[in-house]
A and B are shown apart, each in its own frame.
Chain A
Amino acid sequence: METLVQSTLAAPEGDISFFSLFWQAHIVVKIVMVGLLAASVWCWAIIVDKVLLMGRTRRQMSRFETVFWSGQSLEELYGTLHNRVNHSMAALFVAAMREWKRSHEGAKPAIGSLQQRIDRVMDVTIQREAERLESRLLILATVGSAAPFIGLFGTVWGIMTAFQAIAASESTNLAVVAPGIAEALFATALGLLAAIPAVIAYNKFASDVGKAVARMEGFADEFSAILSRQIDERG
C-alpha cells in the first residue's frame, strides 16, 4: 500500500494511457482487470462458437426437413443416416428408427409398447440435443451478471487508493486524486465491457435454443404420429 501511494505521488502528472493505467494499478486491481479481460475473451469465444453452432443447427434442421418431407422412404433415409454422427432432427429420426428396427428384429416383434418407447427415445434425444446447444451458456449468464460487480470491486479499491493518496499528500489536488480514480473507472469499464456482450449473447442464445428445441419437439410429435400410424397398420 505504501509503495502504491508513493508511486501515485511520484507521478502526479496523471498518465492516463491504456497500459500506464494498468501498470500503475494496485495488484488487486490488476488481478481484477486481468480476470475481467480473460472473462471477456472466454465469453467471446463462447459467443463465436455458439453463433456457428446455432447457424449450423438451423441449417441442418432445414435440410433434414426438406429431405424428410420429400417423399423419400424412411428406410432409405435411415440407411444413409444411421452410420453418421447426427445432430438435432437427424439424431431424433435415427434414434426413433433404431428403436423401431430393433423392435422388429427379433422373431417375435415387440410392438405392444413400441409407441411409448419411441416417444421416450425421442424425448431423451431432444434433451441431449438441447443440452448440447445450451452448454456453456451458463458461463455467459454468470459473466454477464458478475462482471460488473467484479469491476465495481476494482473500482472501490481504486477509490480507496485515491483516498490514500489524498491522505498522504494532504491535498485534494486533481493530480493527486486522478490516477486512483482513473484506474478505478478503468476496472469498471472492463467489467462492463465483459458483461454487456455476455448478457446480450446469453439472451439471444437462450431464445435460439428455445426455438430449436420447440422445432425438434414439433418434428418429434409429427414423426411419432407417422410411426404410430405404421404400427397400427401393421399390428
Chain B
Amino acid sequence: MRAGLIASLAGHSVILVWGLIALPDAESFSVPQVESLPVDLIPVEEFTQLRLGERTAEIRDVAALQPSETEAEEPPQPADKPGESNVQQPTPPTPSPAPTPAPEPEPVPVAEPEPATEPEPAPAPEPVPAETAEPAPAPEPEPQQEAAPEPQPIVTSATPKSKPKPPQRAPEPPKDDFDSTQIAALLNKVEPAEQEGNASQQDAALGSRQGAQNVRMSQSELDALRGQVAQCWNPPVGAVGAEDLKVRVRFNLSQNGEVAGSPEVLNSNGNPAFGAASSSAVRAVMRCQPYSLPIAKYEAWQEVIINFDPREMLGG
C-alpha cells in the first residue's frame, strides 16, 4: 500500500508541476468597456404608421423629425460614393449650395451641376419637389453647423468650398445617406394608403394572421364584431370552472361577411366541459353570420381570432 501511495503522490505532483510549467498562464482577457447604447422601444405600429399615410402629411412629419435626428448624427465620413447618394439628396444641397457651387463645378462635377441647374428634376423619382423645398431649409443649417456652430459661418464655409474643399463637400452626402430625407424618399414611393388617424389600440384578442399593417380595424369595429358574436353565444354556464373555459377560435370571413370554411378552435383545456364550450363558441360564430364589417378593411378582418372568455363576454 505504501508503494502505491508514494507512486500516486509522486504522479500527482509531477502532473501538477508539469501543469504549472508547461501550461503558461492563460492570456488574461480584458474586455473593452462597451458603451451602453440607448435603445428606444417603439411599438411596431408606430413604425408602420410612419411608413404609411398620405404623401403630404408624411413629408411634413419628416421635415419636423429631421432636426432631431440630425442632431445626433455621426461625424461626417469620407465619401465613398458621392454620386450614389447624390441622386436622393438633391434637397439638402440645393438651396444653399446653389449660390456657392455655381462658380466652380469642377470639384465634383457629377454632384454639383445637378442641384445647381434645377432643384426640381434632381429629386427625380421622389417626393413632391415643391414640398421638398420646404424641408430643405431646415436640414440645411445642420451640415454647416458641423463645420461651425453658428449660422454666420455659412458664409465662411461657403468660401472655402469655392476652391480647396472638395473633400469637405464630399463628406456631406454620405452623412445624408442616413438622413431621414432619404427615408422620406423611400416612403413616398409607397402608394398613399388609407390612413387611420385615430390610433386605435390593437386588441390582442382580435387580429389577423395576414399582418395587414396598412389596414387596421378600429376599436369600435372590433367591439362591434365581438358584440355581435357575443349575442349569439350561449356560454357553458353550468359547467364546473366555467370561468376558465376560454376558447380561442379562428375563422375566415368572406367579403360578404359570411364565415368561410369552418372555425378552428386554437386552444385546449383539461376541463371536461371544454368540448361543450368550444362547440358553443363555434356555434356562436356560425350562427351570427353574416357579419357587417367595413368592406374597405376586408384585409384586416379576412381572418379573425376571437377569445371566448366567459368572464368577459358575460360582462362578469
A residues neighboring B (CB under 8 Å): 12-20, 37, 40-50, 52, 173-175, 178
Contact = CB atoms under 8 A, between A and B. Distances in A.
B20 A48 contact: no
A45 B28 contact: no
A37 B12 contact: yes
Interface in B4-32: 4-9, 11-12, 16, 19-20, 23-26, 28-31
B42 interface: no
Contact of B31 (A16, A19, A48, A174): A174
A44 B12 contact: yes
24 contacts: A12-B30, A12-B31, A14-B29, A15-B25, A16-B25, A16-B26, A16-B28, A17-B23, A18-B16, A41-B5, A42-B5, A44-B4, A44-B12, A45-B6, A48-B3, A48-B7, A49-B1, A49-B3, A49-B5, A52-B3, A173-B31, A173-B34, A175-B29, A175-B31
Contacts of A17: 23-26
Contacts of B1: 45, 49
Interface of B: 1, 3-9, 11-12, 16, 19-20, 23-26, 28-31, 34
Contacts of A14: 28-29
Contacts of A42: 5, 8
A49 B1 CA distance: 5
Given A13-B30, A178-B29, A46 B4 contact: yes
A194 B192 CA distance: 72
A12 B32 CA distance: 11
Contacts of B30: 12-13, 175
B183 to A, nearest CB: 34
B29 A52 contact: no
Given A12-B30, A49-B1, 16 more contacts: A16-B28, A20-B25, A37-B12, A41-B5, A41-B9, A41-B12, A42-B8, A45-B5, A45-B7, A45-B9, A48-B3, A48-B4, A52-B3, A52-B4, A173-B31, A175-B31
A20 B24 CA distance: 12
Contact of B8 (A12, A19, A45, A178): A45
A75 to B, nearest CB: 36
A15 B28 contact: yes
B28 A13 contact: yes
A48 B6 CA distance: 9
A8 B23 CA distance: 23
Contact of A44 (B11, B20, B31): B11
Given A17-B23, A49-B1, A52-B3, A44 B8 contact: yes
A232 B29 CA distance: 85
Q: List 4 tightest A-B contacts by C-beta distance, closest first.
A: A49-B4, A44-B8, A48-B4, A45-B8
B102 to A, nearest CB: 55
Contacts of B24: 17
Given A18-B20, A19-B20, A37-B12, A44 B28 contact: no
B20 A45 contact: no
A20 B16 CA distance: 14
Contacts of B6: 45
A45 B4 contact: yes
A40 B12 contact: yes
A50 B8 CA distance: 12
A11 B30 CA distance: 10
